[in-house]
Amino acid sequence: MDIIISNSSGKPIYEQITTQIKNSILIGALSEGQALPSMRLLAKDLRVSVITTKRAYDDLAREGFVSNVPGKGCFVAIKNPELLREETLRRTQDILQQAVDTARAGGITPAELHELLDLLYEGE
Amino acid sequence: MSGILYKDLMNLRRYLRQLVLVFVVLLAIFSFSDSNYSFIAAYSIMLSMMTVISSLAYDEQAHWDKYAMTMPLSRKMLVGSKYLLGLLVALAGSVIALISVVVGAVFAKQDILEGLSVVASCLCVALLMLSILLPFIYKLGVEKARMMMLAVFLIPTLFILAASRLGLQMPGDSFWFGVIIALPIVTVAGYLASFWVSVRIFSKKEL
Amino acid sequence: MKNAIEVQHLNKQFPGFALQDISFTVPGGSIMGFVGENGAGKTTTIKALLGLIQPDSGETTLLGLPLAGNEKEVKSQIGVVFDESYFHDNLTLGIIDTMMAHIFGTLWDKAEFAALCTRFALPAKKTIKTFSRGMKMKLSIAAALAHHPKLLILDEATSGLDPIVRDEILDVFYEFIQDEEHSILFSSHITSDLEKIADYVTFIHKGRIVFSRNKDVLIDEYGIARCTAAQFDAVQSGDYLRRRTTGLGGKELLVKDRAAFHALYPDIVLDGASIEDIMLFYVKGELA
Q: ipTM score here?
A: 0.86
Residue of chain C nearest B63, judged by CA positions: C86
**At A124, is the pLDDT very low, low, confident or very high (cuts 50, 70, 90)?**
low
* pLDDT reading at A1 higher than 80: no
**At B31, is the pLDDT very low, low, confident or very high (cuts 50, 70, 90)?**
low
CA separation, residue C143 to residues C56, C62, C87 (Å): 31, 20, 11
Residue C205, classified by CB atoms within 10 Å of its CB into exposed (0-12), middle (13-18) or buried (19+), is middle
C88, C91, C95, C185, best to mutate vs chain B, most B CBs in 10 Å: C88
pLDDT digits 0-9 by tens, C243-269: 999 888 889 999 999 889 988 988 899
Q: Would you say C155 and C46 are in contact if contact means Cβ atoms under 8 Å apart?
A: yes
CA separation, residue B68 to residues A42, B82, B93, B200 (Å): 36, 14, 29, 17
Chain C within 8 Å of B66 (Cβ-Cβ)? yes
**At C126, is the pLDDT very low, low, confident or very high (cuts 50, 70, 90)?**
very high
Average pLDDT taken over every residue of chain C: 92
What are the start-end ranges of the H helices in B64-172? 64-68, 75-108, 112-140, 142-165
Rounded CA-CA distance A16/A7 in Å is 10
What DSSP string describes chain C? ---SEEEEEEEEEETTEEEEEEEEEE-TT-EEEEE--TTSSHHHHHHHHHTSS--SEEEEEETTB-STT-HHHHHHTEEEE-SS--S-TT--HHHHHHHHHHHHGGG--HHHHHHHHHHTT--SSS-GGG--HHHHHHHHHHHHHTT--SEEEEESTTTT--HHHHHHHHHHHHHHTTSTT-EEEEE-S-HHHHHHH-SEEEEEETTEEEEEEEHHHHHHH-EEEEE-HHHHHTS-GGG-SEEEE-TTS-EEEEES-HHHHHHH-TTSEEEE--HHHHHHHHHHSEE-
Average pLDDT taken over every residue of chain A: 84
Question: Which residues are within 8 A (CB) of C45 and not within 5 positions of it... i.e. 6 or more apart?
Answer: C7, C10, C19, C22, C34, C204
Residues of C with CB under 8 A from a CB of B: 47, 50-54, 71-73, 75-76, 78, 80, 82, 84-91, 95-96, 98-104, 153
* pLDDT reading at C203 higher than 80: yes
Task: Inspect the interface and report whether the beta carbons of C103 and B64 lie closer than 8 Å.
Answer: no
Residue of chain C nearest A14, judged by CA positions: C216
How many Cα atoms sit within 13 Å of B119 on the Cβ side? Answer: 19
**Residue C147 confidence (pLDDT):** 96
pLDDT digits 0-9 by tens, A85-115: 777 788 888 888 988 888 888 888 888 889 8
What DSSP string describes C136-179? HHHHHHHHHHTT--SEEEEESTTTT--HHHHHHHHHHHHHHTTS
C72, C99, C141, best to mutate vs chain B, most B CBs in 10 Å: C99
Which chain C residues contact residue B17 at CB under 8 A?
none
